[in-house]
Structure 1
């Protein structure tokens, strides 16, 4: 069953009316409602197009968090063949907020790392809503080091509200783990591609997103702090999250202008949750294109290009 966001109410009403007419027509009482249904479908489609043509940063935040939006495991299942997951950081334990392993992307071996939020109550709890603890980032480092040793590209799928802020995470060295993971990303001698598929929250995101190519889905967000967190700090009022979202420039469109990301991957009309297969297909093409840019490039040049890319962000802002 499709879930609607508050600002999508006009579309929801039109689609509900169309569904009612389809139900009546299906009863087979001898009359056709096809024309009326077609008109309602056309109105709903146009209303959706108009809405998504002028989304505010806060509305994009809501779309990025949509519960039916495809998650990392959906991308992994569709894009990676022969996926073999790896568990544990070889120091403390396993953290299922970050899922990673090795497989084949379009026939070529790759390392894949992604943040998984979960799609049901049970899986959300198991994956801790995509908020990793230190052992999750240390697992990511372990995977990146293996990829570097065997010359495998690294694909990262970013979707987290941020690193887990609990006391136990801080006790186990959360900041140090994030820093080491970011450093591992920057030091990779193989090509790396990061795609923000939902939320790219703070250090929890950059820890696996400091890549050779950083891309975002059209309605994803990428920020140093959540809009609610920023509103709480600036105004002591989380109700002003919409103001914070606007001022923070967290949308893919703003970040492309600033040079923080390299490419926007367009989503199906109405967001990735309306047509996950199409969204994942477009992501696949974008990843393949990004990897092709590094064909034949020497490891030293890959490291240098990545360093220059991130240093340039500070120079240009």
Structure 2
């Protein structure tokens, strides 16, 4: 897969192209090891500097990067014995939210998450990660099953928002989101939500009302997209950058506001630069968080969850 470079990464792209060119020439034209090593060192320094100075709009671009790991990548990298469960038992099977039973490092769990797809065909199949009501009703079904069998719930959030189409509204989109959010808040088992890319609006919180809410370093989590906020505030969607800078949607902001509990570091250059490392970072933190909640009673879990959400916005 060809590397997709963001606008602020264009100078790094030029160096990477030069490194690739010299690497191809090396076998036939003698050794370029010294030159390649120097260029790689320079590229890493540029990447380090760029990612140390990301503004909220740049982080938004990174969070939306098409090559970031998606739900199916986390399933492949962290879980075994995955059995996908389909359908909401009312209307159909939404492919924007996938989920089922699996084992996480030997422990049985219920997992679910938004899936955006990686190419045109899969993006259409998964509706770009924008779930319809049946997706959220499937999520409720999975949470009910988790509680019935005493299994922890692990969710992976990556969506621009719930699908706003006419059919979705006719089938009760708002009610489905509310029911899913309510079910997450009332679970009697441990639950961990991880924002892996874009956490947009009610479509995200519907599967993020968890005991612990984690967030990858360069992901975003917001009540509305920067484009949507710009359209409302200034009637000008092109001012999305201004909106992003004002909305406090990045991990450092959200930790300070107590909206998320922990930030998971990403590899240099973002999760898309080293997908395997990013996935393993998530796995390590999930293991730690599950261990911290092991042994808690249902009442303790519900109180802990209520306390974390009541703390949002509290002064002092």
Q: Structure 2-normalised TM-score?
A: 0.98
Where do residues 179-258 of structure 1 align in structure 2 (5 Å cutoff)?
Answer: 179-258=178-257
- Number of equivalent positions: 315
Match of 1:152, SS state, is: coil
Q: C-alpha distance in 2, partners of 1:81/1:16?
A: 37
Q: C-alpha distance in 1, partners of 2:113/2:6?
A: 26
Deviation for aligned residue 1:47: 0.2
Listed as ranges, the gaps of 5+ residues in structure 1 are none
> Does the 8 A contact of 1:258 with 1:316 survive in 2?
no
Q: C-alpha distance in 2, partners of 1:279/1:135?
A: 30
Q: C-alpha distance in 2, partners of 1:12/1:216?
A: 27
Deviation for aligned residue 1:25: 1.3
Q: C-alpha distance in 2, partners of 1:73/1:17?
A: 33
> Does the 8 A contact of 2:258 with 2:313 survive in 1?
no
CA deviation vs aligned residue, 1:62-103 (integer Å, no higher than 9, x gap): 001111111000001111110000000001111000001001
Deviation for aligned residue 1:315: 2.2
CA deviation vs aligned residue, 1:170-206 (integer Å, no higher than 9, x gap): 1111000000000000000000000000000000000
Write out the 4+ residue segments of structure 1 that deviate beyond 6 Å after TM superposition: none
Partner of 1:104: 103
Match of 2:253, SS state, is: helix
Partner of 2:292: 293
Q: C-alpha distance in 1, partners of 2:282/2:201?
A: 22
Q: C-alpha distance in 2, partners of 1:16/1:314?
A: 47
Deviation for aligned residue 1:314: 3.2
Partner of 1:178: 177
Q: Does 1:14 align with 2:12?
A: no
CA deviation vs aligned residue, 1:139-176 (integer Å, no higher than 9, x gap): 00000001001110000000000000001111111000
Q: Does 1:4 align with 2:26?
A: no
Q: Structure 1-normalised TM-score?
A: 0.98
Deviation for aligned residue 1:120: 1.2
Q: C-alpha distance in 2, partners of 1:264/1:314?
A: 19
What's the C-alpha RMSD, in Å, of the aligned pairs?
0.9
Match of 1:313, SS state, is: coil
